[in-house]
Structures are given as structure tokens and as C-alpha cells.
Amino acid sequence: MPKASTKKASTKSVKTAKEPKPIGEVTHFFGGISVAIIKFKKTVNVGETIKLKGANTDFEQAIDSMQYEHQDIKSAKKGQEVGIKVAEKVREGDKVYPAE
């Protein structure tokens, strides 16, 4: 009688397109003035293009201006929450990615 093999079958993972890591998250949205409050995980500058994505959100836009404590700023630092005028409605918890 042949001896049963105790080796496990190798499981190779299939490589898929790498999902980019979020660089920020929407913490609040002011609908009347279309401003999203975003907490960034890295430095982001005015002029960069970002992608906002969530369950009902999926669009890209350039950052035309940012405000921190009602003052215009040129860049948001890691951990800073800033206000950005957005083209579409966003929701709390939506993720912010660098544009592709």
C-alpha cells in the first residue's frame, strides 16, 4: 500500500494590480458650501490631483486651494485636517488617494 503524502499543496497567490494606499480621509462635509474636511496622512500641496473614493463617491480633482483654521495654506502636513472645496458630494469616511 502506498504511503500517504503529508505535504501540503503550495498555494501561490495571483498577483493583482496593487491598490494604492490612501493618503487621507474625509472627516466632515459641509454640503452648503461643498467643502470637505480631510485629514491627510502625508504632505499634500495645492495643485496636486487627488482621487476621492467611497461607497457612493468616485472622482478626481485638482486641489485649487486649502484652508487650515480659515487661513489659506499652500500645503497640508501629515496629520493635519484641512478644508478643500470639492466638485461633488463626499461622505465621512471616504478615502483620499493620489490620482493615477
Q: Is residue 56 part of a domain?
A: yes
In a domain, 60, yes or no: yes
Unique residue bearing C-alpha cell 470637505:
36
In this model, does residue 96 exceed pLDDT 90? yes
Q: Most distant CA pair in the chain: distance in Å? A: 81
Percent of the chain with pLDDT over 70: 83
The CATH number given to whatever domain includes residue 66 is: 2.40.30.10
**Do the domain assignments include residue 8?**
no
How far is residue 97 CA from its own chain's centroid? 3
Q: Give the chain's mean pLDDT.
A: 89
Cβ(50)–Cβ(90) below 8 Å: no
- pLDDT of residue 10 exceeding 90, the answer is no
Cβ–Cβ under 8 Å, residues 9 and 47:
no
Number of domains the chain is built from: 1
In this model, does residue 73 exceed pLDDT 90? yes
Compute the distance between CA of residue 66 and CA of residue 82 in angstroms, rounded to an integer.
6
The separation between the first and the last C-alpha atoms of the chain, rounded to the nearest angstrom, is: 59
Confidence of residue 20 (pLDDT cuts 50, 70, 90): confident
Domain that holds residue 38: 24-98
Q: Global pTM?
A: 0.80
CA–CA dist 82, 8 (Å, integer):
51
Cell 496629520 identifies what position?
A: 79
